[in-house]
Amino acid sequence: MGYMAVAQTQAPAGTAQRILDIAEQLVQSRGYNGFSYADIAGELGITKASLHYHFASKAELGEALIERYSARFTEALERIDGTTSGAGAKLDAYASLYADVLRGERMCLCGMLAAEYQTLPDRMQGSVIRFFDHNLTWLAGVLADGQSDGELCFDGSPADAAQTVLGALQGAMLVARPYRDLARFQAAAAHMLASFRRPSAP
Protein backbone atom coordinates (compact mmCIF):
# COMPACT_ATOMS: atom_id res chain seq x y z
CA MET A 1 0.00 0.00 0.00
CA GLY A 2 2.96 2.32 0.54
CA TYR A 3 1.42 4.18 3.51
CA MET A 4 4.69 4.38 5.45
CA ALA A 5 6.81 4.95 2.35
CA VAL A 6 4.76 7.99 1.40
CA ALA A 7 5.03 9.43 4.88
CA GLN A 8 8.80 9.02 4.95
CA THR A 9 9.32 11.24 1.90
CA GLN A 10 7.62 14.23 3.49
CA ALA A 11 10.35 15.14 6.01
CA PRO A 12 13.04 17.75 5.26
CA ALA A 13 16.60 16.50 4.73
CA GLY A 14 18.60 18.56 7.26
CA THR A 15 21.56 17.22 9.23
CA ALA A 16 19.40 16.09 12.16
CA GLN A 17 17.05 14.38 9.73
CA ARG A 18 19.94 12.56 8.03
CA ILE A 19 21.20 11.42 11.42
CA LEU A 20 17.76 10.03 12.25
CA ASP A 21 17.51 8.34 8.85
CA ILE A 22 20.82 6.50 9.33
CA ALA A 23 20.11 5.66 12.96
CA GLU A 24 16.68 4.29 12.06
CA GLN A 25 18.17 2.07 9.38
CA LEU A 26 20.77 0.79 11.86
CA VAL A 27 18.18 0.05 14.56
CA GLN A 28 15.91 -1.71 12.09
CA SER A 29 18.74 -3.88 10.79
CA ARG A 30 21.06 -4.30 13.82
CA GLY A 31 19.09 -3.23 16.86
CA TYR A 32 19.64 -0.33 19.26
CA ASN A 33 22.63 -1.98 20.93
CA GLY A 34 24.17 -2.91 17.57
CA PHE A 35 25.43 0.53 16.56
CA SER A 36 27.36 3.47 17.97
CA TYR A 37 27.71 7.16 17.23
CA ALA A 38 30.90 6.27 15.38
CA ASP A 39 28.85 4.20 12.90
CA ILE A 40 26.57 7.14 12.15
CA ALA A 41 29.44 9.64 11.96
CA GLY A 42 31.31 7.39 9.52
CA GLU A 43 28.24 6.92 7.35
CA LEU A 44 27.55 10.66 7.14
CA GLY A 45 31.16 11.82 7.05
CA ILE A 46 30.80 14.05 10.11
CA THR A 47 32.40 14.11 13.56
CA LYS A 48 30.92 12.54 16.66
CA ALA A 49 30.92 16.04 18.14
CA SER A 50 28.49 17.07 15.39
CA LEU A 51 26.22 14.20 16.37
CA HIS A 52 26.28 15.24 20.02
CA TYR A 53 25.35 18.77 18.98
CA HIS A 54 22.07 17.49 17.54
CA PHE A 55 21.48 14.60 19.97
CA ALA A 56 23.39 14.92 23.23
CA SER A 57 23.16 11.22 24.02
CA LYS A 58 22.26 7.96 22.34
CA ALA A 59 19.21 7.75 24.60
CA GLU A 60 18.05 11.15 23.33
CA LEU A 61 18.57 9.95 19.77
CA GLY A 62 16.61 6.79 20.53
CA GLU A 63 13.67 8.78 21.92
CA ALA A 64 13.67 10.97 18.81
CA LEU A 65 13.66 7.88 16.61
CA ILE A 66 10.64 6.39 18.37
CA GLU A 67 8.79 9.72 18.33
CA ARG A 68 9.33 10.13 14.59
CA TYR A 69 8.48 6.52 13.80
CA SER A 70 5.35 6.67 15.95
CA ALA A 71 4.25 9.90 14.26
CA ARG A 72 4.66 8.32 10.81
CA PHE A 73 2.76 5.24 11.93
CA THR A 74 -0.04 7.40 13.31
CA GLU A 75 -0.23 9.27 9.99
CA ALA A 76 -0.40 5.94 8.18
CA LEU A 77 -3.27 4.76 10.40
CA GLU A 78 -5.12 8.02 9.82
CA ARG A 79 -4.58 7.59 6.09
CA ILE A 80 -6.03 4.08 6.26
CA ASP A 81 -9.07 5.43 8.14
CA GLY A 82 -9.52 8.16 5.56
CA THR A 83 -9.12 6.08 2.43
CA THR A 84 -10.25 2.55 3.30
CA SER A 85 -13.77 1.28 3.97
CA GLY A 86 -14.57 -1.86 5.91
CA ALA A 87 -12.80 -3.47 8.84
CA GLY A 88 -11.36 -6.32 6.79
CA ALA A 89 -9.80 -3.96 4.25
CA LYS A 90 -8.39 -1.83 7.06
CA LEU A 91 -6.74 -4.87 8.64
CA ASP A 92 -5.27 -5.80 5.24
CA ALA A 93 -3.90 -2.26 4.90
CA TYR A 94 -2.48 -2.46 8.41
CA ALA A 95 -0.65 -5.68 7.56
CA SER A 96 0.69 -3.95 4.45
CA LEU A 97 2.48 -1.43 6.68
CA TYR A 98 4.60 -4.27 8.03
CA ALA A 99 5.08 -5.76 4.57
CA ASP A 100 6.38 -2.40 3.33
CA VAL A 101 9.00 -2.33 6.09
CA LEU A 102 10.02 -5.93 5.52
CA ARG A 103 10.23 -5.32 1.77
CA GLY A 104 13.06 -2.88 2.52
CA GLU A 105 14.87 -5.65 4.47
CA ARG A 106 14.14 -3.95 7.76
CA MET A 107 12.10 -4.75 10.85
CA CYS A 108 9.51 -2.67 12.68
CA LEU A 109 11.57 -0.16 14.68
CA CYS A 110 9.61 -0.69 17.88
CA GLY A 111 9.55 -4.44 17.34
CA MET A 112 13.34 -4.43 17.28
CA LEU A 113 13.45 -2.23 20.37
CA ALA A 114 10.99 -4.50 22.18
CA ALA A 115 13.47 -7.36 21.74
CA GLU A 116 16.03 -5.23 23.63
CA TYR A 117 13.51 -3.76 26.04
CA GLN A 118 15.33 -4.61 29.29
CA THR A 119 18.50 -2.84 28.13
CA LEU A 120 16.80 0.37 26.94
CA PRO A 121 16.82 3.64 28.91
CA ASP A 122 13.63 4.12 30.95
CA ARG A 123 12.20 6.86 28.73
CA MET A 124 12.70 4.76 25.63
CA GLN A 125 10.95 1.85 27.32
CA GLY A 126 7.94 4.06 27.97
CA SER A 127 7.91 5.29 24.37
CA VAL A 128 7.96 1.72 23.02
CA ILE A 129 4.99 0.79 25.21
CA ARG A 130 3.07 3.86 24.06
CA PHE A 131 3.67 2.90 20.43
CA PHE A 132 2.21 -0.56 20.97
CA ASP A 133 -0.65 0.77 23.10
CA HIS A 134 -1.65 3.17 20.33
CA ASN A 135 -1.59 0.38 17.74
CA LEU A 136 -3.63 -1.90 20.01
CA THR A 137 -6.22 0.83 20.58
CA TRP A 138 -6.57 1.42 16.83
CA LEU A 139 -6.80 -2.29 16.07
CA ALA A 140 -9.37 -2.85 18.81
CA GLY A 141 -11.51 -0.08 17.32
CA VAL A 142 -11.35 -1.59 13.84
CA LEU A 143 -12.12 -5.06 15.17
CA ALA A 144 -15.04 -3.78 17.25
CA ASP A 145 -16.49 -2.05 14.19
CA GLY A 146 -16.09 -5.19 12.12
CA GLN A 147 -17.74 -7.30 14.79
CA SER A 148 -20.69 -4.94 15.19
CA ASP A 149 -21.42 -4.78 11.45
CA GLY A 150 -21.06 -8.55 11.05
CA GLU A 151 -17.99 -8.50 8.81
CA LEU A 152 -15.65 -9.98 11.41
CA CYS A 153 -16.13 -12.84 13.85
CA PHE A 154 -13.88 -13.71 16.78
CA ASP A 155 -13.99 -15.01 20.33
CA GLY A 156 -13.17 -12.75 23.25
CA SER A 157 -13.02 -8.98 23.32
CA PRO A 158 -11.77 -6.68 20.54
CA ALA A 159 -8.83 -5.82 22.82
CA ASP A 160 -7.88 -9.51 23.03
CA ALA A 161 -8.21 -9.87 19.26
CA ALA A 162 -6.03 -6.79 18.77
CA GLN A 163 -3.29 -8.46 20.82
CA THR A 164 -3.54 -11.48 18.51
CA VAL A 165 -3.24 -9.38 15.34
CA LEU A 166 -0.31 -7.30 16.56
CA GLY A 167 1.57 -10.25 18.01
CA ALA A 168 1.02 -12.38 14.90
CA LEU A 169 2.29 -9.68 12.53
CA GLN A 170 5.34 -8.90 14.62
CA GLY A 171 6.10 -12.61 14.93
CA ALA A 172 5.58 -13.24 11.23
CA MET A 173 8.07 -10.48 10.44
CA LEU A 174 10.62 -12.03 12.77
CA VAL A 175 10.28 -15.51 11.26
CA ALA A 176 10.36 -14.25 7.67
CA ARG A 177 13.45 -12.12 8.24
CA PRO A 178 16.16 -14.82 8.17
CA TYR A 179 14.63 -16.28 5.01
CA ARG A 180 14.50 -12.84 3.35
CA ASP A 181 11.12 -13.99 2.08
CA LEU A 182 8.36 -11.39 1.95
CA ALA A 183 5.93 -13.99 0.58
CA ARG A 184 6.38 -16.02 3.77
CA PHE A 185 5.23 -13.04 5.84
CA GLN A 186 2.36 -12.22 3.49
CA ALA A 187 1.07 -15.80 3.58
CA ALA A 188 1.15 -15.89 7.39
CA ALA A 189 -0.54 -12.49 7.65
CA ALA A 190 -3.24 -13.41 5.15
CA HIS A 191 -3.97 -16.70 6.92
CA MET A 192 -4.21 -14.97 10.31
CA LEU A 193 -6.49 -12.18 9.06
CA ALA A 194 -8.72 -14.65 7.21
CA SER A 195 -9.47 -16.30 10.55
CA PHE A 196 -11.26 -13.10 11.64
CA ARG A 197 -13.57 -12.92 8.65
CA ARG A 198 -17.08 -14.25 9.04
CA PRO A 199 -17.60 -17.27 6.75
CA SER A 200 -19.84 -16.58 3.80
CA ALA A 201 -23.26 -18.16 3.90
CA PRO A 202 -23.60 -21.20 1.58
Domain enclosing residue 116, as ranges: 3-194
pLDDT at site 6: 36
CB burial class (10 A; 0-12, 13-18, 19+) of residue 38?
exposed
CB burial class (10 A; 0-12, 13-18, 19+) of residue 128?
buried
Per-residue pLDDT of the chain (202 residues; tens, 9 = 90+): 454 543 444 434 589 999 999 999 999 999 999 999 999 999 999 999 999 999 999 999 999 999 999 999 999 999 999 999 999 999 999 999 999 999 999 999 999 999 999 999 999 999 999 999 999 999 999 999 999 999 999 999 999 999 999 999 999 999 999 999 999 999 999 999 999 998 763 3
Number of domains in the chain: 1
Domain containing residue 155: CATH number: 1.10.357.10
Residue 177 lies in a domain: yes
Residue 38 lies in a domain: yes
